[in-house]
Structure 1
Amino acid sequence: MAFKDLKIGTQLMIGVGIITAMAVLLGATAVVQEESLWEDTSDLYEHPLKVRRAAGALEADILRMDRGMKNLFLTENEQEQEEILQGISADEADALQQFDILYDRYLGSRSDIDTVYTDFVQWNTIRGETIRLLREGKTAEAASRTKSTGVEGALIEKMIGDGLIIGDSALMKADELYQSAQQHKDEQTVQLAALLAVTLLLFFVISYALLKAVRDPLLELTGVSERYQHGDYSARSRIVSPNEMGALATSFNTLADTLQTELQARENATGIATGIAAISLHEDKLEPFCRDILVVLMQYTDSQVGAIYLINAQKTEFSLFESIGLSASARPSFSATMYEGEFGAALATRQIQHITDIPEDTVFTLSTASGDIRPKDILTIPVLSGTEVVAIISLASVRAYPATALQHIDDIWGLITARLNGLLAFQKIQAFTETLEEQNRELNEKSRELALQADELREHNIELDMQKKQLDEANRAKTVFLSNMSHELRTPLNSVIALSGVLNRRLRGTIPEEEYSYIDVILRNGRHLLALINDILDIARIESGREFISLRTFPVLELCNMAEERIGPQAVEKGIALQNLVNPDLPLMTSDFAKCQHILENLVANAVKFTEEGEVTVSAIVADDEVHISVTDTGIGISEDQINIIFDEFRQADERVARQYGGSGLGLAIANKYATLLSGSIAVESTPGKGSTFTLILPLTITLPIPETHGAAEWEVSGHSETPYHPVEHPGAGKTILIVEDSEPAIIQIKDLLEEEGYRIRVARNGKEALEEINNELPDAMILDLMMPEVDGFTVLRMLRSGDQPVRIPVLILTAKHITKEELSFLEGNGIHQLIQKGDIDRKSLLGTVGRMVSEPLEQMSQKPAQSPRHGVRDRPVILIVEDNPDNMMTAKALLREHYTPIGAADGQSGIDMARREKPDLVLLDISLPGKDGFEVCRTLKQDEELRHIPVIALTARAMKGDRADILSRGFDGYLSKPVDAELLEQTIWRTLYGA
């Protein structure tokens, strides 16, 4: 086989193999020559060079030994002589080593070395005799032996001369070795050059043969492909070879044949698509389109029979719509749900089906003069709308369909489907349009009727809007009325309760006991009336939707303990037992603690009130994520027909009982509304004469959004209470608390609470001020809001707890912000004392938390300077009372006269004039005044440069939720609600004037 017919891989392997063999031969030759050169160099070094060095070293040893012998005669010191003899012995030993080298490496006559060695041995004997003579004192005789004419001198000269012979012989041997190496080098250079020339010649010959074997076929194939690219589809390669180039040429020829066939098929497909497009352009009716499409398909597929079937409106069967060449006996329809016959596979698979084994019962037969002919092949083309078959196109031929015809059908299937679906949709739209036109005519009639009804509805809506406005106005009037009534009722109550308290203190022991008891009756009934007013306001606030829910998590036992603590004294007074049987291991509940407390205290108080003997028990269980708190008594009980009315406002079960036990009928109504507000309820079981069980049912967790607000209206502190609040010595009294809060109402309210307990309060309104205050003086504790401008609470806490010397003061977080899991983790990691949501605590809870916080030992304490009174306060302060009600004016003066100098004004303008004239130390200002109201008076005083330093405290009967925050936000320095508690009035004035 010729080299060019070998496979390209074989050709490459042969060429590379030859070149590799030559390279290996060239390398081996180089290695052999290099080894020869190394041997010459080694001989040159190991023999002549080392012999020459050893001869020189031997001559030096002999001369040093001779010089040592002569030095022996120059010294008379025995120690120096011994040192010289030791040096001679060392040189002698080195000389013997040089003799060993000469014997081992010398390439000349061995007798040359023997002669020198014999003389050296003889010299040793003579040298020993000379040393003996010297030691015996025969110095002259010994010295003569070492002279050049002496026996030693002559022998040394002979040894040096013989040594020169050895050195010259070594030089001659070195010249011989060098000449031999030069000759080897020249021979090796010629050999390497010849091998390299042969290798390069073989490389070029083989490269040319390989290049020609690959390039010529590639050039031929490139030329054929360029001809094919420029449209010569008959171009074919003439390469015939068993190697890869021959296979490539054969593949190219096959590909060219296939492409030529494909192009021809595409031209046919384009013709079909063009024909269908032409039909689509001028046919917008279904029947002529189907007929024309059958003509085109039959022409390009060489079919003899064609038919189109359309599905009916019920989608149950296909009916013959159009056909060409179909026998008259063909069935006009077939089932759409039964996949049978030649159409079954197309319906089931929703794909084009090519049937070659035609069944005997086919509907496709071709009628001819000689009879019906059964076709050889059938094509079934499903037309899809989404996944649903809406039409079937079937073609039949007496000859087998070529592959090109099948490819044509597959290429234009989507086009046929789109156009036929479009015409079907158009036909449906036309039918739908006709139906719509009919319906529009009917709708126009109904529209006229509806227009009349719309006019009537419009008039009705106008009436409803008017009614809504009237209801809104009535609701507003109700709120205003309740506010006004609160003011009007509290105003006289202020005088009744306050003056009764004054008389109670001043007249104790000065009047008969019976008359003194009248004062207690007046005071008790005044407070009872105040509680009734508060209940009415609570009902109004709930019904108006102004009641807020503040969530916190607490133990059920804590709730029940507080109820027991509050109502226990009443039970003791009546001589009945009040038992708290609540299990302390019950799960925590999340709800509004204050409202839960209100409900439970009302239920327990009622149980105690209506029980004359026996006991009242409080118990609790948890079932189905609900807590059931039951209050059971052994009292008078309630009949079944009266249970439904006890939760109505101002209703009681029995009027006679009401007269006996008293009550307004609002307690249970408020409790029930609060329970409903907390997604709970109150259940009642009672037996007349035996007792009752009231069960408060609440969810363990109620989830409500926490409002993002910095206001503190959710936990107001007012001056009224069923039992006056008497401050007691607090565990943290006298300690300094830093309040970091940007909301002024919140600052005032927290400050009022804490200052009543003896705390010294410092205030920072943002994070930056807080850090400055801490740098100036370290407080005992800090109450920190989180959401503040500039530097927020998180940053303040981070800066306090970080650094080389972190500040370890206790921190109480009091915020309205919803705390995320990540923020809670940060707060806990920085050692906060407690986290409280605004609105979640009452006065007692806050004071208890702060007391526990400041009672813990601190790492760092600071010196706290004593408080000083407000600058310019008189020894007996003058207090201006601006009040239009004479009774309230008299009451206020009576309460203040013991420690202060009260002066009064009956309206706003008079109050301003008196303030400018008298320059009082403090102003007690009513809000509802004739002429200028309290807000105008306060604004005028604060704008006056001479009066703006005078503190103004609001003394008002406005006690609706939000009134305190509103009043404080208008510039007032304090707030007291009527009726005024004498102790609270005294504390507020003292704190305002003296800061403690």
Structure 2
Amino acid sequence: MRLKDLQIGTQLRLGLGLIMVLVLGLGVLSWRQADELARQTNDLFEHPLQVHRAVGRLEADVERMSRHVRELRQAQDQQGRETILHQISLGEVSAEKQLELLRDRYLGPEDDVDTLESDLLSWKVQRDETIRLMGTGGVLWAEHREGGVQAERSTAVMVSLKKIDTFADNMSNTLHRRATDKAAALQQQLFFVVGLILLLSLSVSWLLLNGIKRPLAELTATAAQLGQGNLEVRSLFASKNEVGTLSKAFNTLADSVQANATHFASAADLNATLLEELEARAFGVRVLETLMRLTASQIGAVYVLDEERGEYMPLKSIGLSGDGHSFSASAHEGEFGAALASRSIQRISDIPTDTHFTFATVSGEFRPREIVTIPLVSGKEIPAVVSLASLRDYRPAEMRFLTQVQPALTTWLNAMLSNRRIAELSAGLEAQNLELEAQKEELEAQASQLAEHNAELEIQKRQVDEANRLKSAFLSNMSHELRTPLNSVIALSSVLSRRLEMKIPDEEWSYLEVIERNGKNLLALINDVLDLSRLEAGQEDLRVERFSLRGLVGELVDMLAPIAGKKGVALDNQVPEGLIESDADKCRHILQNLIGNAVKFTDVGQVSIAATFADHAVGLTVTDTGIGIAPDKLDLIFEEFRQADDSTSRRQGGTGLGLTIARRYAHLLGGEVGVESKLGAGSTFTVRLPLTATHGAVGVPSRTRPRAKTPTPNSRRGQRLLLIEDSEPAVIQMCDILRAEGYQVEVARNGKMALEMLEHIAPEAVILDLMMPEVDGFQVLGALRAVPKTATLPVLILTAKHVTKQELSFLEGNHIHQLIRKGDVDKERLLAAVAGMVEPDEPRKPSDRRVAPTRKPRRPGKPVVLVVEDDPDNLRTAKALLEDNYVVVSAQDGQEGLEQARRHLPDVILMDLAMPVLDGFEALKALHRDETLKEIPVFAVTASAMTGDRESILAHGFDGYLSKPLDGEILKKTLAGLFTA
């Protein structure tokens, strides 16, 4: 099969799999290097160093005992003598212990230790005699012996110790030199392997990019011509993957629209180069000759499986009389039978008389003593068998060698059958290994060059860091380059679908649905692969905010309800009310994948979503009554590119990445995803997440977006929008949707043109693309906010770009209304977003409020302050700051706050914004609608610290703004300014 015919997911799996194997090999090599250096260091510590320490301690013991003997002469009483004698005994015990250590660790001649032991014993005899003489009164004779024969024995002991210590020092230098030489050799080997991995990774990346980008670019150009009215245009791309399917659907649509056109020929030269394989006979000869030489075999043969005939055919033989015979692959006959059945090396000693393994000599033919059969296993198949025979018995060392090389032979054979390039690189690696081995003897002379080599390694490290930086930039560019052309296909298909509905036959109109659906499927696949790449590169960031888990699940249920309704599957949202601080987008991705899978694999019954809040965590369960998962597949479904049903006859599609990404997102949030299932009885997926995500998180303020109204068609009439977009397909799609709803759409093809137009027109809102030539969307947004005329102009971002954490912070800091990704634009969602910009809820401006510089309380005594706050700690803090000078009334959500306000008619209200049941914005609207409450000053209390948040909050009608945590002095001055003494 040609490379371009492979599924895009298969191509990516092959490429990423190869890179992962190479990185694993690098890790194994590094581990082996570290282990070898550790062993060298241990040898240096366990032998020379221990011997040197023992010699030092023994010298100290001898000197100490000699001093005690001299002190014994000067002892005045019996107690002093016994103390000294006890110290001498302790010295003898210590010396004996050090002598045993020397005998165990000393690597030199044993005679050195024996001589030392003999000298110590002789010295001990002389010392004991001297001590005896002192005890019997012969002090003068003892002094004579102490300076004479005893001193000579002591000197002999020191000479023996010096000899052992000198040998230990020499051995220490020898071991250090060996360790240094080994470290240099291992560094050279690691340098070569890193370079090889880098070269292979770059090659694989180039092949994958070229194989995906070129057909998509061709299909995009063809679709653009069709959209311009050229009905003769056809897509010439043909393959067996997803792009080929999309191309065929496009051509079918064009053929149907142009009824009088002939069928387009699909035979096109794809200009793809097949991977050329190594010549099998050369491989067999090389392996056979090597094995025979290393095992001293006289006869050898290589047999290769002929799948058509079901037999092993002789490929090459050496020393075999006559032509080799074939063997059945299924009957397990002859010498090969046991090896094929056990899939392991077999050794036959009792050679049958009818064997075809005979050795021809001038004296006649000889039957071998032993035959060894080596099956080369590849998965479930045995593509080749190597057989060796000898006129003598094989030695155990030779059999161990064959057992060790069997996996290597299998790897070589698979590489030969896969592609010649890997075989050539392997041969090059083998040559480099031989060259490194030949240079091993020269490393000692090159010790002076180590500093230079270290500098070169540092340069290589900087190059690797630069390569990682370029890889990150490539990932970002790849995200945009892949999505942009595919978005054009989806957008134009959607436009044609609306324009040609009821104008062409239903069958032909359904082709447009096929194009749009497959385009979105391909976009989802690309998004999954890019998400997985970012996760593996550690480039995913968390944006923690407080949101309602039930609300999030409700959105997903509403989104999937039409699909479930078509299948007759009920969706049951049993998630209770509750807030969670986490990354809402990551949580949405996890739950959308789990609920979407449950709907996809359930034909009858229902899908239930439930949640339990406990122990600072929330546990969500998605239960379905679908087909279930086999027990042996439960551990596989979370692996990359693996599915419970990966057969060619499976009913459902998919890439096998969804659950992998969901689990990795859960880990990123500090949680876990698990599954329980029974085949035929449904599945239950469980997600456990912390209530507050902190692992690698970047906090963002909780936000409550005002709900957009749904305007009538008349209310849209004449409202002007400025669309800033350089992609013609996107312009066509957006104008088609918006103008049909009555909006007046002005189009700017680039950022520079948009800024010039804004000097002459005043649109109600702007729809902005981010990736444009010359002046991009970020620069346009910054220019808009820098001019007072457009500083508050609503802006909706529509882009195919992967937005980084820094870019998203810039967008939020410049108050964008919403961000919608190209490719998955939903018409209703787009219209609701646009309506939310041009016809938002009318908040009260700060200037409309009637807060006087000072204000009298409604009643005598202390003023009444209503604090509406759902966090108990914050509520307790507010009460502590206020209760000395004010009467404090509290409420824990917006609804309760309204009830307390009607009951107590407070003089001022301190209102939190993010609360359950009814948030601060909705509660403020309710207060303004109540004639008895609308005059009460309301101050917003929030932890939001984004640029422009104060202005945004005051624009909703709040009388003031207090930031958390509450500052006592600021709170006191703020409230004191409202009331007269």
Shorter-chain TM-score range: 0.3 to 0.5
User: TM-score, normalised to structure 1's length?
Assistant: 0.32
User: TM-score, normalised to structure 2's length?
Assistant: 0.33
Larger-gyration structure (1/2) = 1
